[in-house]
Structure 1
Amino acid sequence: MRKLANSELNRINTDEFKDATKTPLILVLDDIRSLHNIGSVFRTSDAFLIEKIYLCGITATPPNKEIHKTALGATETVVWEYAADVVEVLEKLKSEGVSLQAVEQVVHSVMLNDFKVIPDQKYALVFGNEVKGVSQKAIDRCDGVIEIPQLGTKHSLNISVSAGIVVWDLFQKINARLSSAE
């Protein structure tokens, strides 16, 4: 085996990214403290052609040197918008028919491996603060809550890790549905 050079990866350029069909996923980051976590979510969003990111509350916005360290230019490709109030964003998305799913640990959550995607449904995934998680006011507006199964002693995963896991899982499920529909 030989490691591929970046020039051999055949990645699309920024203009091609903007024109590409997006995965019907929107990410809502509410009160994320770490600039590196924000950058990492941008990079994951670029990798899986995520439609949009909403940055809410205290979540910092590009351009920002610390976000750029992990985003590596993904803030130039992924569409994003800042909103001070996460509730307003969630109500807007709900009015557009987007299914709102918090990623959190709550009573009656659905384990990620059991979560079923609905054909032609657009989803918004809500991720919360590194310490407090998704706020109750945001959870109250969601259609459901997805929980990542965990077996160890820790109570949670880093938000950027959680976003990567959940985005990958839903990306796979959405694309499996699309492939089986063809």
Structure 2
Amino acid sequence: MNRKLKLQELGRMSIEEFKDADKTPLIVILDNIRSLNNVGSVFRTSDCFRVAKIFLCGITATPPHRDIHKTAIGATESVEWEYSESTLNVVKSLQEKGWSCYAIEQTADSISLDDFNPDGKTAIVMGNEVDGVQQEVIDACKGSIEVPQFGTKHSLNISVCTGIVVWDLWQKLSQ
């Protein structure tokens, strides 16, 4: 019988073990995200794939907040995060520290996620639900990565898009 596992059978690490564990060389930068549920979902995805850090920028809300907690379900305690008023300053600072920063955005020169191969420490910028990544931030990034889409809609929800991109990059960076 293919029974569903109980939580205690999953063998998940504690928050302390998570904090001590090796992280994926991946940083997620949230650029003016309006929805607190989206923020919480990004925390949860980041915990799942041991993302090194999340930067919450501009109008993006920060923990503790009940609406973030609702979807993060505790991941705000495990994943390292930092707030910054300026997404652009975060990108520039990370680049000075050797991180390659990419906007997850549809641009004239964007690279399909399928064709993108990270070359080490990678930071991704996820944009606002309506306006996407700020143009000045796109301009400062090493490039733009686009998630292939085949339907009638022009974009994915930011938390769904983050899940797809983080999963893909986790596979590529973990090899």
TM-score bucket (shorter structure): over 0.9
Deviations 1:118-168 (A, max 9, x none): 2xx100000010000001011011001000000000000000000000000
1:140 is paired with a residue whose SS is helix
How many Å apart are 1:108 and its aligned residue?
1.1
Distance 2:7 2:141 in 1: 40
Task: State the match for 2:153 in structure 1.
Answer: 154
Distance 1:91 1:108 in 2: 21
Task: State the match for 2:165 in structure 1.
Answer: 166
Residues 1:41 and 2:42 aligned together: yes
1:107 is paired with a residue whose SS is coil
How many Å apart are 1:175 and its aligned residue?
1.5
How many Å apart are 1:81 and its aligned residue?
0.3
User: Which residue identity lines up with residue 159 of structure 2 in the other structure?
Assistant: S
Task: State the match for 1:142 in structure 2.
Answer: 141
Distance 1:68 1:122 in 2: 28
Task: State the match for 1:72 in structure 2.
Answer: 73
Deviations 1:25-71 (A, max 9, x none): 00000100000000000000000000000000000000000000000
How many Å apart are 1:117 and its aligned residue?
2.0
How many Å apart are 1:174 and its aligned residue?
1.2
2:153 is paired with a residue whose SS is coil
Distance 2:160 2:72 in 1: 14
Kindly report structure 1 stretches of 4+ aligned residues shifted beyond 3 Å.
Answer: none
Structure 1 residue ranges without an equivalent (≥5): 177-182
Distance 1:83 1:116 in 2: 28
Q: Scaled by the length of structure 1, what TM-score is found?
A: 0.95
User: Which residue identity lines up with residue 58 of structure 2 in the other structure?
Assistant: G
2:145 is paired with a residue whose SS is strand
Distance 2:86 2:166 in 1: 23
- Number of residue equivalences: 174
How many Å apart are 1:83 and its aligned residue?
0.3
